[in-house]
A = this chain, B = another copy of it.
Amino acid sequence: MVAGVSTSTPSSPALGFDPIAEAKRQWDLRWERGSAMAAATSIMRAQQIVLAAVDGALRPFGLTFARWEALVLLSFTRTGSLPLGKMGERLMVHPTSVTNTIDRLEADGLVERVPHPTDRRATLAQITAKGRRLALRATAAVEAVDFGLPALGEDQLASLTDVLRHLRAATGDFPAR
């Protein structure tokens, strides 16, 4: 988790109000930076929602968001393989997370570990034929739920991605140029 495997939203809306709006109201009464508090909390919650929707769509295929992302990344490459380190960079996760993800994909026969041809330190993850087939079907399912964002229009999606790109750039996700 950020996050384990989840299928649905944790709790039903037993509340009669927006919990984040309420938190911001309370916050503004006492401290500073209420807007940042509300935005940060919204991001945390949005991640839960997206993850739950996508994981739910992937469950029938025995995949999770993390494993599916790795599979798709490999299927995008020319050779169907990538050093684990490169995968970590592209997926923006810690090296140990890649090890974990590939462990599980390999156990399911969707990926194979093969030695790097020239660098004996490195290991390549190679997608299998079975992995390619599953990736295609799973991807259709993820598209079908619109990545957990069916409620947003094209302009909202663009706005979201744009604002978050500023955040990522400032945090060093990629050279701000």
Contact = CB atoms under 8 A, between A and B. Distances in A.
Q: Assembly of this chain: how many copies? A: 2
A18 B50 contact: no
Measured as residues with beta carbon below 8 angstroms from the partner, the interface class of chain A is 35 or more
A42 interface: yes
Interface in A6-41: 9-23, 26, 31-33, 35-40
Contacts of A38: 157, 161
Given A18-B174, A151-B170, A39 B1 contact: no
Q: Is the interface of A mostly helix, strand, loop or mixed?
A: helix
A167 interface: yes
Contact of A171 (B4, B9, B36, B88): B9
A42 B147 CA distance: 12
A149 interface: yes
Contact of A167 (B97, B151, B163, B169): B151
The 8 closest A-B pairs by CB, nearest first: A2-B2, A1-B1, A1-B2, A2-B3, A151-B170, A1-B3, A47-B47, A40-B147
Given A22-B90, A42-B161, A46-B168, 9 more contacts: A11-B92, A11-B94, A15-B175, A36-B149, A40-B147, A43-B164, A44-B47, A156-B166, A159-B159
